[in-house]
A and B are shown apart, each in its own frame.
Chain A
Amino acid sequence: MNFTLHIWRQENAKAKGSFETYKVSDISPDCSFLEMLDILNEQLINDHIAHPVCFDNDCREGICGMCGLYINGRPHGNDDGVTTCQLHMRKFKDGDEIWIEPWRAKAFPVIRDLVVDRSAFDKIIQAGGYVSVTTGGVPDANAIPIPKRFADMAMDAAECIGCGACVAACKNASAMLFVGAKVSHLALLPQGQVEATERVKKMVCRMDELGFGSCTNTYACEAECPKQIKRQNIARLNREWICQIFGGNKRPE
């Protein structure tokens, strides 16, 4: 298969970027999208055309959350429930023009080409996305039974890989699905409920500070989440927030 690629090139955070057009040919349909970019880079180096295209990637099996490209108007490309590394070229048509852009958000500044800085996500988690236990001195693992339903719902939320597709897809660059997933995960478990009130307050305030937008219930995040995390987690975040406003620790599920 042959493709024409329009790729965002930007030398560093301060430089002015622009799209450059490259052609790749003889790509196997079984090739993954990132492998296609590997081939392009090989070509760029060998033919001394340009500096290879920088893009984040690591595990290449859809779990580390490192990769993330905005491909033809969709984060992680034109397939549902996959990360960019799981996208395969058979999803494209021979001769397609492919536009590749980095995540665009104030909170995710571009580092180089398609690489963005997502440490804002780390900072949100640092604000309170955990249970404050230190090592040791904890009760036996089976001391507190947790209904399977709750454990399962918590796991659904906990599957978030922190790739940032939700922010990239959102017209407001909002991180509500990311925050909602973490708040939900911990609010559904008795271990996390102790600090639930404080947690939601700190995480949401940190999120606002870092320049993420506000949610307008468009659910683009849900549509593009590679782990298919549901909007109900945002509702739970809102619920936790309301409880926090009224100061109570008595919260509905």
Chain B
Amino acid sequence: MDTHKLIKISSITKKLLIGLFGAFLLVFLLFHMCANLLILLHDGGKAYGAFCHFMGSDFVKIFEIILFACFILHAVLAVWVWFLNKRNRPVGYHKPSRTKTAKGSKLAIVSGSLLLLCLVFHFYDFFFVKINFVEGTYMVKTEEFMNNSPTLEVSEEAQMVFLNLINDGKASDDMLWIRQISAEDKAVLQEAFPEAEFEPDFYTIAHQKFSVWHIVLCYLVFFFLVGLHIRHGFESAFQTFGLNHYKYSRLIEVLGIIYCWVICLGFAIVPIGVFFGL
């Protein structure tokens, strides 16, 4: 296939691809939201920690790559279409439009761009810790740590750190995880125990972040934008896939609203819950 033809994908196919990737992201959001709710369990981060550990496995990493690919393609295609569409009205109207339209769709490019910005901060808080881009709080499996621990040549510094962890109640034999290890502590311990696998302690990070009011507020704005974007996305996906029909367009609309609220509230309840200590 010559490149010219490849670039000239039909307008509908472009939309289909945006929709397809978007739909995958929609499903991911639901999954993400459900996982987040584990933070609210009063189990000292047991369940959430286990989940995060599972998320670190190689199997999940494949999905992670797909997810990122989807996200990037969704955004790139959307911006491309937006850019192309701008050229179809070289002379604009003097009077701004007063047509009643689906606001979500009109604002999709705006809410999408803002989301991208928010996502950078969100990544700074969480995902970048995972990929060791920024420092955070860490945890390590007690059992693994103990077994692997080379008993010899542990620096005094490391022993002190470890003792402090035990004294602070962050580590003990009967706990599955040694948690809330600060970045400096982790560095010391890692030196002493080169084979220990430290993981980010997202449970703790979440509690740290969500105890600051302005971060909570930022996240609420973020979720509002997510809601706005999927308010358009959900219904729109059905329309683009040709699944909208007189018989059930109302149903799709209602489902879209429900989905939007579920995602929005599901996400929002976590920072609020943590902040108010629910």
Q: How far is the CB of B4 from chain A (nearest CB, A)?
A: 13
CB of A218 within 8 A of chain B?
yes
CB of B84 within 8 A of chain A?
yes
Inter-subunit contact B89/A173 (CB<8 Å): yes
B residues near A231, Cβ cutoff 8 Å: 239, 244, 249
CB contacts under 8 Å to B, within A69-98, are: 70, 72-75, 78
The chain B residues found within 8 Å of chain A, CB to CB, are 8, 10-16, 81-82, 84-85, 87-102, 105-106, 108, 232, 235-236, 238-246, 249
B residues near A153, Cβ cutoff 8 Å: 246
Q: A208-B8, A242-B16 are in contact. List 7 more A-B contacts (CB 8 A).
A: A104-B93, A153-B246, A171-B85, A171-B106, A214-B14, A220-B99, A231-B249
Chain B residue nearest in CB terms to A215? B15
Inter-subunit contact A213/B240 (CB<8 Å): no
* Count of chain A residues with a beta carbon within 8 Å of a chain B beta carbon: 51
| Docked CA distance A204–B12 (Å) | 8
| Docked CA distance A174–B101 (Å) | 15
Inter-subunit contact A101/B239 (CB<8 Å): no
| Docked CA distance A218–B99 (Å) | 10
CB contacts under 8 Å to B, within A227-253, are: 230-232, 234-242, 245, 253
| Docked CA distance A168–B87 (Å) | 14
Inter-subunit contact B85/A239 (CB<8 Å): no
A residues near B243, Cβ cutoff 8 Å: 235, 239
Inter-subunit contact B11/A220 (CB<8 Å): no
A residues near B14, Cβ cutoff 8 Å: 214
The 4 A-B pairs of least Cβ separation, nearest first, read: A239-B242, A214-B11, A235-B244, A73-B98
Inter-subunit contact B99/A235 (CB<8 Å): no
Known: A107-B88, A216-B81, A232-B246. A204 touches B97 (CB 8 A): no
Inter-subunit contact A215/B244 (CB<8 Å): no
Inter-subunit contact B10/A208 (CB<8 Å): yes
| Docked CA distance A219–B236 (Å) | 10
Chain B residue nearest in CB terms to A252? B242
CB of A105 within 8 A of chain B?
yes
- Set A205, A214, A224: member contacting B99, Cβ < 8 A: A224
CB contacts under 8 Å to B, within A39-53, are: none
A residues near B235, Cβ cutoff 8 Å: 217
* A-B contact list, 10 entries, CB within 8 Å: A104-B89, A169-B97, A172-B85, A208-B10, A208-B11, A232-B246, A232-B249, A235-B239, A237-B12, A241-B16
| Docked CA distance A219–B87 (Å) | 19
Inter-subunit contact A214/B81 (CB<8 Å): yes
Inter-subunit contact B240/A217 (CB<8 Å): yes
| Docked CA distance A230–B89 (Å) | 24
Inter-subunit contact A214/B95 (CB<8 Å): no
Inter-subunit contact B239/A172 (CB<8 Å): no
Known: A204-B10, A214-B81, A218-B106. A101 touches B93 (CB 8 A): yes
CB of A99 within 8 A of chain B?
yes
Q: How far is the CB of B234 from chain A (nearest CB, A)?
A: 11
B residues near A240, Cβ cutoff 8 Å: 242
Known: A104-B89, A235-B245. A217 touches B95 (CB 8 A): no
Inter-subunit contact B99/A232 (CB<8 Å): no
CB contacts under 8 Å to B, within A105-157, are: 105-107, 153
Known: A105-B89, A213-B88. A72 touches B95 (CB 8 A): yes
Q: How far is the CB of B169 from chain A (nearest CB, A)?
A: 54
| Docked CA distance A207–B11 (Å) | 9
- Set B11, B108, B241: member contacting A213, Cβ < 8 A: B11
CB contacts under 8 Å to B, within A192-212, are: 204-205, 207-208, 211-212
A residues near B8, Cβ cutoff 8 Å: 208
B residues near A242, Cβ cutoff 8 Å: 16, 241-242
| Docked CA distance A107–B93 (Å) | 15
Known: A204-B12, A232-B246, A235-B244. A104 touches B101 (CB 8 A): no
B residues near A70, Cβ cutoff 8 Å: 93, 95
B residues near A34, Cβ cutoff 8 Å: none
Chain B residue nearest in CB terms to A224? B99
Chain A residue nearest in CB terms to B98? A73
Q: How far is the CB of A130 from chain B (nearest CB, A)?
A: 21
Chain A residue nearest in CB terms to B100? A223
Known: A72-B98, A106-B88, A172-B88. A236 touches B15 (CB 8 A): no
Inter-subunit contact B245/A74 (CB<8 Å): no
Inter-subunit contact A230/B246 (CB<8 Å): yes
CB of A19 within 8 A of chain B?
yes
B residues near A216, Cβ cutoff 8 Å: 15, 81-82, 85, 105, 108
A residues near B236, Cβ cutoff 8 Å: 217
B residues near A19, Cβ cutoff 8 Å: 94
